[in-house]
Structure 1
Amino acid sequence: MLDLTTFKNQLMAAVTQYGGKVLLAIFAFIIGRMLIGTIMRFLSTRMNSAKIDRDVQPFLLSLTSVTFNIMLLLSCAGVLGVQTTSFVAILGAAGLAVGLALQGSLANFAGGVLILIFKPFRVGDLVSAQGFTGHVEAIRIFDTVLLTPDNKTITLPNGGLSTGAITNISGKGKIRVDMVFAAGAPNGVDKIRASIQKVIASCPSALKDIEHDVLVTKLTENAIFFDVRVWTHPDRYWDVYYFVHEHISKQFSSDNILAPAPAEVHVVMQPTKA
């Protein structure tokens, strides 16, 4: 049977030896939690003032909070006299193992965070990346979803998007539709240009507050070639493209503009010797 006096003496010795450390660790934990709360509120305010995307703010705040709390727990353990070197080594080894196992996923995760923060494109933008062109339908933490003009859904990993070249076609709010048309040389440059300009003026999707280009790009014996550049909104690109191509033919016919004459080929037969 345990002697009560001995138990009291052991308890007093433990309190004397560890009591101060326990109280100091508790005090450090409380102060640390208060400091972490203050820091997190400050970071949240700064993120809002910096207009960081609200979708990524919770993740960044959570990651920061977890990091600070782990550091606080290790510090409190050190105050109690616990050797934290082994804990740090175990955490490092576990982090390395997880990182190697999820290397591709972590790259996509980091890429998603970078895209959400720096915004090289937004939902609804028309972009071209990794050989695909389409409107951005969703930006997720691991991948980005594109909707192509022919209604196909393309899922691209964010790791490649964050490190590769991206063409944001609609980033400036307007886009130029480039086309080439040809007509017979006898029609004359001015007549052909006036006919093309009529089509552009009648196109409902062409912007009205900007000058469109109808430029002579090539002259041959039988034809005159024009570069036609029409400005429009990104979501109206194909509307302009097909409208102009259809109505150019009708307008040329209405204005009696002839198509380029086919090139004549003359074959000269050489007499053969007997």
Structure 2
Amino acid sequence: MEPSKFSFQNVTDQVMAFATLYGFKILLAIVILIVGLWLVNQLVKMLSTVMNKRQVDRDVQPFLLSLVGAILKVLVLLSVASTLGVETTSFVAIIGAAGLAVGLALQGSLANFAGGVLILTFKPFRVGDLISAQGFTGNVEAIHIFNTILVTLDNRTIILPNGSLSTSPITNISGKGTIRVDMVFAAGNTNDVDEVKASIRHVVDACPYALKNRDHDVLVTKLTELAFHFDVRVWTNSATYWETYYFVHEGIARQFAKDGVKGPEPTVTVMGDFSSVGRVN
């Protein structure tokens, strides 16, 4: 019985010594873990509220929130490990090396990710805007974290990577709410200029999409041997850009026919030696 008592006493002493030496650290680590995770949840909720106020794309919010939450939780776990006396330098080195390897392997995707964050933050365009970028013109259907979806006027879907999109020129055609539709028309130089301008002006004034509070221009811009060229500039809402464009073109074609406005008449130049034509040998 004596050895048993000795063994039990020995275990008890070791437990007490361990508790004395590490008890406070363990308790502090538990407190850091609980409080840290609670703070992470609160910060993620605050970030979600800020994103909603800034109208960040709802498809992107879960990804960003989970990413931020994961990073903060890793920091909390590292703090807990450091409190317990675990050497964290090796863990940080491993995480850094892994991050570098992943970054090199996915540098294109990371560039697109960064571009998506910039677009969603600074909003050079929004969903529904008519833009011209990367040689394409269309309405923005969706802004994802890695790419932006455009639908062109002929209903083609164009997927643009956010990396190049965020660093290249973008023309936001509908950004200001109103836009000027610039068109060019030609009429034969045998017509009276004032009569042609009156015909064009009649169509512009009748256009239901033309803004009534803006001045629209009908200007002679070029004279050639065959024609007068007219710049026609009509202000309209961004959403009715193409309706205005097609209405004016069709209206002017009909009005020119009604008013007898003639188009440029082509000429034919015949070259050659006709000295022997009609000669009888």
TM-score, normalization by structure 1? 0.86
Structure 1 counterpart of 2:12, from 8, 15, 18: 8
User: Shift in Å at residue 57 of structure 1?
Assistant: 4.6
Q: Counterparts of 2:36 and 2:178 in 1: how far apart (Å)?
A: 52
Query: What amino acid is aligned across from residue 72 of structure 1 in structure 2?
Result: V
Q: Given that residues 52 and 117 in structure 1 are in contact (C-alpha distance below 8 angstroms), is that contact kept between their aligned partners in structure 2?
A: no
Q: Given that residues 147 and 154 in structure 1 are in contact (C-alpha distance below 8 angstroms), is that contact kept between their aligned partners in structure 2?
A: yes
Q: Given that residues 128 and 167 in structure 1 are in contact (C-alpha distance below 8 angstroms), is that contact kept between their aligned partners in structure 2?
A: yes
Q: Counterparts of 1:187 and 1:7 in 2: how far apart (Å)?
A: 114
Matched, 1:191 2:195: yes
Structure 1 counterpart of 2:100, from 96, 103, 120: 96
**How many residues are matched?**
271
Q: Given that residues 131 and 138 in structure 2 are in contact (C-alpha distance below 8 angstroms), is that contact kept between their aligned partners in structure 1?
A: yes
Partner of 1:170: 174
Structure 1 counterpart of 2:126, from 122, 128, 132: 122
Question: Mapping of 1:65-144 within 5 angstroms?
Answer: 65-144=69-148
Matched, 1:227 2:201: no
Q: Counterparts of 2:245 and 2:51 in 1: how far apart (Å)?
A: 43
Q: Counterparts of 2:34 and 2:149 in 1: how far apart (Å)?
A: 45
Q: Given that residues 195 and 252 in structure 1 are in contact (C-alpha distance below 8 angstroms), is that contact kept between their aligned partners in structure 2?
A: yes
Q: Counterparts of 1:27 and 1:267 in 2: how far apart (Å)?
A: 99
Matched, 1:251 2:255: yes
User: Shift in Å at residue 94 of structure 1?
Assistant: 1.6
SS at match of 1:144: strand
Q: Given that residues 48 and 65 in structure 2 are in contact (C-alpha distance below 8 angstroms), is that contact kept between their aligned partners in structure 1?
A: yes
Change (3 A) 1:133 1:13: same
Change (3 A) 1:31 1:119: same
Partner of 1:153: 157
Structure 1 unaligned residues grouped into runs of 5+: none
Higher mean C-alpha displacement, 34-43 vs 4-13? 34-43
Q: Counterparts of 1:41 and 1:245 in 2: how far apart (Å)?
A: 54
Q: Counterparts of 1:258 and 1:32 in 2: how far apart (Å)?
A: 81
User: Shift in Å at residue 183 of structure 1?
Assistant: 1.8
Q: Counterparts of 2:102 and 2:112 in 1: how far apart (Å)?
A: 15
- Matched-pair identity in %: 61
Q: Given that residues 57 and 143 in structure 2 are in contact (C-alpha distance below 8 angstroms), is that contact kept between their aligned partners in structure 1?
A: no
1:203-236 residue CA offsets vs partner (Å, 9 max, x unmatched): 2333333211101111245432111112223343
SS at match of 2:153: coil
Q: Given that residues 57 and 120 in structure 2 are in contact (C-alpha distance below 8 angstroms), is that contact kept between their aligned partners in structure 1?
A: no
Q: Counterparts of 2:254 and 2:271 in 1: how far apart (Å)?
A: 36
SS at match of 1:136: strand
1:90-110 residue CA offsets vs partner (Å, 9 max, x unmatched): 111121222222222222222
Q: Counterparts of 1:259 and 1:163 in 2: how far apart (Å)?
A: 45
Partner of 1:64: 68
Query: What amino acid is aligned across from residue 138 of structure 1 in structure 2?
Result: A
1:69-122 residue CA offsets vs partner (Å, 9 max, x unmatched): 222221121111111111111111121222222222222222222211111111
1:7-27 residue CA offsets vs partner (Å, 9 max, x unmatched): 112212211221121122223
Query: What amino acid is aligned across from residue 234 of structure 1 in structure 2?
Result: S
User: Shift in Å at residue 62 of structure 1?
Assistant: 3.5
Change (3 A) 1:247 1:30: closer
User: Shift in Å at residue 29 of structure 1?
Assistant: 2.8
Query: What amino acid is aligned across from residue 244 of structure 1 in structure 2?
Result: V
**CA RMSD, aligned part only?**
2.7
Change (3 A) 1:244 1:52: closer
Q: Given that residues 174 and 232 in structure 1 are in contact (C-alpha distance below 8 angstroms), is that contact kept between their aligned partners in structure 2?
A: yes
Higher mean C-alpha displacement, 32-41 vs 117-126? 32-41
Query: What amino acid is aligned across from residue 224 of structure 1 in structure 2?
Result: F
Structure 2 unaligned residues grouped into runs of 5+: 276-281
User: Shift in Å at residue 265 of structure 1?
Assistant: 5.5
Matched, 1:209 2:209: no
Q: Counterparts of 2:262 and 2:139 in 1: how far apart (Å)?
A: 39
SS at match of 1:187: coil
